[in-house]
A and B are shown apart, each in its own frame.
Chain A
Amino acid sequence: MIEAYLLHLLILICIYAILSMSLTLLTGYTGMLNLGHAAFFAIGAYASVLLVMAGFPFWLGFLAAGGVAALFGVLLSIPSLRLRGDFLAIATLAFGEIIRSIMLNWTELTRGPLGIPGIPKPELFGIVFDSMLTYFVLTIVVVLATYVVLKYLLDGKFGIALKAIRENELIAESLGKDVKMLKMQAFAISALFAGFAGSLFAHYITFIDPSSFTLSETVLVLLMVVLGGLGSLVGSIAGAIILILLPEPLRFIGLPSSMVGQLRQIIYAGLLIVLIIKRPKGLFGEQWFGGIVSDSS
């Protein structure tokens, strides 16, 4: 029993670690505040579920989750080529709300607010990942793969170019960087991994509905990124671990579950305030996160 509970937390940590790593590429490195990240998570979840429930194999649903989300990432990058700072943040916020309202209203596809129950557990190479332990192995493998790929990209010239864009687009361009293309790639890669996380989430919980992909989900992931320190992959993982575990003790003090949800929000808000005052660069970060909301040019 306690083992199942711990594994459940570990699986959630893994899924959120993928999300927070994907978001730090965009927000931490490139300096583009994305308030619609949960939409990529949602698109991945629905894409994977709809394909698998239509009879396609899990691996295809999983890859499509990333691929479809990446396409939407490219779409969302278009306003980012013109908008900066706060205006971009508002555009991404609108994107998140549009995707959520499509999930709610395109009922033939998504069943709207009723959600999609009975999502099958993944099956790969003849193995069905239907126990907590096997599912944890699956998610940790994806976490490691995500880390390795993003680490390779971000430590190389791609990551340095993204940081240069965060610092000053015009100067990056004057040094030969194709800023529009790089921003598009940053959005696509960020969305790709968020889509993978969506697939893992959906096939784990086995039920999805639009309420799992709201703005507060984005804010939670953003808080993980900020807590760990913008522009740090290890920090993003640490942020996921801390923020998943932090509210857990609330379960054991005998409060009604409706109150637990609200208390959790209060804890997150309080943490954000403490962070801004005490440690604006996060645990592992190099950049103050005020930098992402003010226009750098």
Chain B
Amino acid sequence: MIALELKSISKHFGGVTALENVSFKLEQGKTLGLIGGNGSGKTTLLNVITKMISPNSGEVHFKGKRVDNLPAYKIARLGIGRIFQIGGIFNNMTLLENLFVATNSGNEEEAERILNEVGLVQKKNEKAATLSGGQQRLLEFGRVMIRNDELILLDEPFAGVSEGNCKKIEEVIGKLQKEGKTIILIEHDSKRIKRICNQLIELDEGKLAKKTNID
């Protein structure tokens, strides 16, 4: 089954072309690596999928349904989750509160179980601002996990993260893959991409330059 399909997406910012006529399909349960130089449109692509920005033209389909006409919060409720390139956590809220925003249950046991899985349970009542960069990423992974998102978009989750936390993040991604989640991973390290991803797409100045299967 096709989890995600983009049909001829284009996005311009003034005179800058961030995306031009990008189309691809991603099968459920697969992990897609997204590469390309700085400013090639990778983050913009994720922004279009989650409707944080509207494309100038093209369509986004999730599990066979057109979603680009929905507001961002409704897209999120379909089970599309995201880890941001920068500033993705609520700094002045505790770790538990960060998770509670993401779920409607407010179930503390479940939140603690998730924090345990990402290795942060001992800091559950601390402000998220006190976490290191890698730990903040892991907290974002916790949010995706507690929401049980089906499609997970990862924007350079390893960038600026310590080696130990990189390992932990890779472990968490592995777990999500085993659960059958569909993932898009933006990442520069080609070895890591080969380890994690099934497919690869390269963007070059907003155009889809290359598609490869890794397996």
- CB-defined contacts of A176 to chain B, threshold 8 Å: 73, 76-77, 102, 147
Q: Looking at the complex, which one of A170, A177, A286 makes contact with B101 (CB distance below 8 Å)?
A: A177
Is A173 within 8 A of B90, CB to CB?
no
A97 interface residue (CB < 8 Å to B): no
Is B92 within 8 A of A287, CB to CB?
yes
Interface range on chain A: under 10, 10 to 19, 20 to 34, or 35 or more? 20 to 34
Among A163, A172, A176, residue most surrounded by chain B Cβ atoms (within 10 Å): A176
- From residue B174, how far is it (CB to closest CB) to chain A in Å? 24
Cα separation A177 to B90 with both chains bound (whole Å): 14
Q: Mark B105-145, 1 if CB is under 8 A from A, else 0.
A: 01000000000000000000000000000000000000100
- From residue B51, how far is it (CB to closest CB) to chain A in Å? 9
Is B52 within 8 A of A174, CB to CB?
yes
Is A174 within 8 A of B93, CB to CB?
no
Is B90 within 8 A of A163, CB to CB?
yes
Segment of B36-44, B81-89, B201-209 engaged in the interface with chain A? B81-89
Is B93 within 8 A of A167, CB to CB?
yes
Segment of A41-49, A132-140, A153-161 engaged in the interface with chain B? A153-161
- CB-defined contacts of B82 to chain A, threshold 8 Å: 174
Interface range on chain B: under 10, 10 to 19, 20 to 34, or 35 or more? 20 to 34
Q: Looking at the complex, which one of A160, A171, A174, A179 makes contact with B97 (CB distance below 8 Å)?
A: A160
Interface of A, secondary structure class, is helix
Is B106 within 8 A of A167, CB to CB?
no
A178 interface residue (CB < 8 Å to B): yes
Cα separation A175 to B73 with both chains bound (whole Å): 7
Is B73 within 8 A of A177, CB to CB?
yes
Q: Mark A60-91, 1 if CB is under 8 A from B, else 0.
A: 00000000000000000000000000000000
A residues sitting closer than 8 Å to B (CB atoms) are: 156-157, 160-161, 163-164, 167-168, 170-179, 286-287, 291
Name 26 interchain pairs, CB-CB below 8 A, sorted by A. A157-B100, A157-B104, A160-B100, A163-B97, A164-B90, A164-B93, A164-B101, A167-B90, A168-B87, A168-B90, A170-B72, A171-B89, A171-B90, A173-B52, A173-B71, A173-B72, A174-B52, A174-B72, A175-B76, A175-B101, A175-B147, A176-B77, A176-B102, A286-B92, A287-B92, A291-B92
Q: Which 10 A-B pairs have the closest CB atoms?
A: A176-B76, A167-B90, A164-B101, A176-B77, A173-B72, A175-B102, A173-B73, A160-B100, A178-B73, A176-B73
Given contacts A164-B90, A174-B73, A291-B92, 9 further A-B contacts (CB under 8 A): A161-B101, A167-B90, A171-B90, A173-B76, A174-B50, A174-B52, A176-B147, A178-B73, A179-B73
